[in-house]
Structure 1
Amino acid sequence: MSKAKESAESNAEAIPDDIAGMSFEAALKALDEIVAKLESGRVDLEESIALYGRGALLKRHCEAKLKAAEEKIEKIVIGPDGQASTQPFKAE
């Protein structure tokens, strides 16, 4: 197994169950709340470090959800023969 694949798998395993079970919207809201707390400057160092770590996990979870959604999207294209067909969506 390649190192990149092993790293990706170990990263996926590192996401706690409470985050893994979140919808994209819930994870994004939790991430926004963490950012607001950190930006307020009213959090002590230890809590800041813990919040930052959780924020990183939430960010990774959101990115995975977006990638999964992107893989499901198809675009409709018209071929040279005038027939419609679908192709996987690729962000440009």
Structure 2
Amino acid sequence: SLVLPPPAQHALAQAALTYRYGEEYQPVTAAQILAPRRYEDRQDDLWSVFNRCQENLLKGGLPGRTEKGKRSHTRAVNGIDGDIRLNRALWVMAEQMQQALS
């Protein structure tokens, strides 16, 4: 499987954040999106990075800050429409990353 260097991982996470929250303000960082929730997800291949981004964006619960600086946690994606759109966008980003690096 394709191993992603850290700059490519960061680029994928940043693109996912921009898709989810827009360009103006993002309550969490790309590093938080890339953080694994379980030991098995610590690998740096494309599939593991994709899964980490997907899980952290869909489940929510990451500590962040509002635009005014108040502490908050990200919300989970509960609607099926938002879930499907986010998954499709992440999949397209991962496919483009694979084509660019292989």
TM-score (norm: length of structure 2): 0.31
Q: Which has the higher contact order (CA 8 A, sep 6+)?
A: 2
Structure having the larger proportion of residues in strand: 1
Q: Which structure's CA Rg is the greater one?
A: 1
